[in-house]
Structure 1
């Protein structure tokens, strides 16, 4: 109850801040002609990145016939759905005139990467929702069979969602086939969603974004932060829902190996992303990289690199580090470092355009979010956590029927 109250408080403050933005315009933010994206788009990229965990845990491991991941699939899909919902919301928040959002559908041009982003995000959301819903159907039947032990409103919800499920051989066959099709479909869509997002940056002629590496760079970072988020959720649900029997140390061991691999991969792309322009040292790239390595953004940059990648690798590369508590700490590091990394992808580049700032006010040379921006950003993060909390309270966080089936096969 305390946790939900805290999240609701953040959401209400964020809603009030957004009301101020709606009534007074984007002037309440510290964004301007140069930094026109700021913390909102940083949050958008962060949410999109985390959402890719659904395809990693549910689709890739399921298609690879990896059975140990079964208890983690619903956690991954809940995170994916909540993240992609708030990625969409934060884009609307970033619009100065959200009442004109419908123009995107009436007059959208397929030549624009923004239109591709809308299409692929919408597609990914519906596939993730179906991947969450289909495996839930057998569990709803189990919950309806025990309706005496639950509130009436929950029973009504379960009835609406799953009353048609009888568990016949034909239904199971159709459901399994549908899940496999969705798993195959979501992998290219998952790659597209972050590739298209990266193109929004790479097709904009700015130092720091003028890169052909951005697609792979974004995808590798997305898989890392998604895996880190699952590790954090595993620990929290395991501890507070007493799921030690289902989310075991073996799961942390295997997820630890995945996180190490993904962190090394993302570190490689980071070296590739910064080493090549640093070697060339074109003037505008020089200014941008100097700001990151030793200038205004250096503390955040080295924090993101050390805490988001290097320290988790140092912890998880050892067997003792792949125990639940060290894994939880490493997961927190990955997620926090990833958020700051997205902020650094957006802000320093916008402050260093190819054409120098002439006759611009002094405040245009710096950017720090206003309290309204912080409140809305934190409110969106709290909203995503609130959705995850709601799912965990209402539905089984561990797939019941799938786990029983896997145990029977193992026996």
Structure 2
């Protein structure tokens, strides 16, 4: 099959428009089919990017911190964390919910936006899907080690063991096991299915025998036939349909960890939609953070364009407004219920010992995202990078505020306590970033960071009815 570039490879289009209504193209620089393949495949098959080893060294350093923290935890017990009798959950569950939320944007971009035929997802969906897998792996660190004796972690699974014990099926903590494991499995399969055609591209372009064998095994014998593409599209749509309800159900079930309890500050029906909106909010912020760096470091500015980034910033603005609305509804429900304990719990968040954490949360999650109403800020790379980091800081504080401020003031004043994290708390959380970044950097270096076939599909030349005579070449290039 020919790999010659269509005429559009040499035709440079005007990337700017004076029409404020017109949409910017999703691929800039007049790139055609062959140029897109060269640019994306060159990252995996070419020379190592200059800054990549330094980033990997930093990530591995943080990963070693995680290993040391978990080793100390196992040898000494969970008492090395700052938890006490009053506050039994703290940074551990905060980190778990934080990372599960980070993983939501990937499946939403890949599944929901795909079903709604949003073409702007094509350049960012692959990296977002990878981010989902890595975030879930980072999240699973916490429930596995929170049990203390990690070698008994399999007791969380719904199987009888040698002691004749059965998990409590009525507990939302066990529901988490089902929800998160299902989410991770479907997301991994969804991600891998999308990678298969691009693995074949890397296999055919690889210059060393080792790479040819590895990418050949991963490509599953893909040859790009019409029949293969039909089955691929069908499988991709099925996985998108399976993933869509998981986006809504997983963080809903995570919210049940709190909502089904009778603890003031947790026992509220706003938590499921509130947690889902917050997860999408933090997930998109992390995608923006990673994509801003990746497009610059990997030379992908023509494929990850300002239109992609601006659309994600609009979603951050919308979901941030939803989160702010949920904050207000919590106070309304506490007042309308007439429950003295609920009112005390909410007022304690605002004016109590952890007021500094609450107002940090509100500032980061509600006030700063409102800056995206202004197009100049919404399209500024430095501004969106800083705001995306601020959003994730705020979302971590949100989980911390929900968990700790609802526990540290018990019904009995003699049980009141104040939580202070230990060095092991902090090093474990920082170490999870090492795991996440290590996996993401390895992904960027050795796997196609952009879905080559899907990006080609948004070009004008890919449309046989509107490609200005390049329909046959478009089809040929798409199945390269």
Q: Could you say which TM-score interval applies, normalised by the shorter chain?
A: over 0.9
Q: 1:232 maps to what in 2?
A: 289
Q: 1:409 maps to what in 2?
A: 462
Q: Secondary structure in 2 aligned to 1:244?
A: coil
Matches of 1:249 and 1:258, distance apart in 2: 14
Q: 1:326 maps to what in 2?
A: 383
Matched, 1:44 2:103: no
The alignment's TM-score, normalised by the length of structure 1, stands at 0.94
Q: Secondary structure in 2 aligned to 1:91?
A: helix
1:48·1:194 contact (CA, 8 Å) conserved in 2?
Answer: yes
Matches of 2:105 and 2:74, distance apart in 1: 33
Q: 1:89 aligns with which of 129, 138, 141?
A: 141
Q: CA deviation at 1:121?
A: 0.8
Matches of 2:102 and 2:211, distance apart in 1: 29
Aligned-pair Cα RMSD in Å: 1.7
Q: 2:251 maps to what in 1?
A: 194
Matches of 1:329 and 1:74, distance apart in 2: 23
Matches within 5 A, 1:100-179: 100-105=152-157, 106=159, 107-148=166-207, 153-179=210-236
Q: 2:119 aligns with which of 67, 86, 101?
A: 67
Higher radius of gyration, 1 or 2: 2
Matches within 5 A, 1:309-348: 309-313=366-370, 315-323=371-379, 324-348=381-405
Q: CA deviation at 1:278?
A: 4.7
Q: CA deviation at 1:281?
A: 6.6
Q: 1:55 maps to what in 2?
A: 107
Matches within 5 A, 1:14-53: 14-53=66-105
Paired residue total: 403
Q: Could you tell which deviates more after superposition, 319-328 or 126-135?
A: 319-328
Q: Could you tell which deviates more after superposition, 14-23 or 107-116?
A: 107-116
Q: 1:299 maps to what in 2?
A: 356
Matched, 1:381 2:433: yes
Greater helix share, structure number: 1
1:14·1:372 contact (CA, 8 Å) conserved in 2?
Answer: no
What per-residue deviation string (whole Å, max 9, x for no partner) do you get for residues 340-374 of structure 1? 11111111111123x2143x5xxx61111110111
Q: 2:12 maps to what in 1?
A: none
Matched, 1:276 2:333: yes
Change (3 A) 1:239 1:278: farther
What per-residue deviation string (whole Å, max 9, x for no partner) do you get for residues 228-261 of structure 1? 1111122111111111110111112222222211
Matches of 1:29 and 1:330, distance apart in 2: 31
Q: 2:8 maps to what in 1?
A: none
Q: CA deviation at 1:58?
A: 0.8
Q: CA deviation at 1:291?
A: 3.0
Matches of 2:154 and 2:310, distance apart in 1: 47
The alignment's TM-score, normalised by the length of structure 2, stands at 0.81
Q: 1:349 maps to what in 2?
A: 406
2:331·2:343 contact (CA, 8 Å) conserved in 1?
Answer: no
Change (3 A) 1:278 1:371: farther
1:202·1:211 contact (CA, 8 Å) conserved in 2?
Answer: yes
Q: 1:211 maps to what in 2?
A: 268
Task: Give unmatched runs, 5+ long, in structure 1.
Answer: none
1:284·1:352 contact (CA, 8 Å) conserved in 2?
Answer: no
Q: Could you tell which deviates more after superposition, 401-410 or 85-94?
A: 401-410
Q: CA deviation at 1:290?
A: 3.1
Matched, 1:222 2:279: yes
Matched, 1:79 2:128: no
Task: Give unmatched runs, 5+ long, in structure 2.
Answer: 1-52, 160-165, 468-480
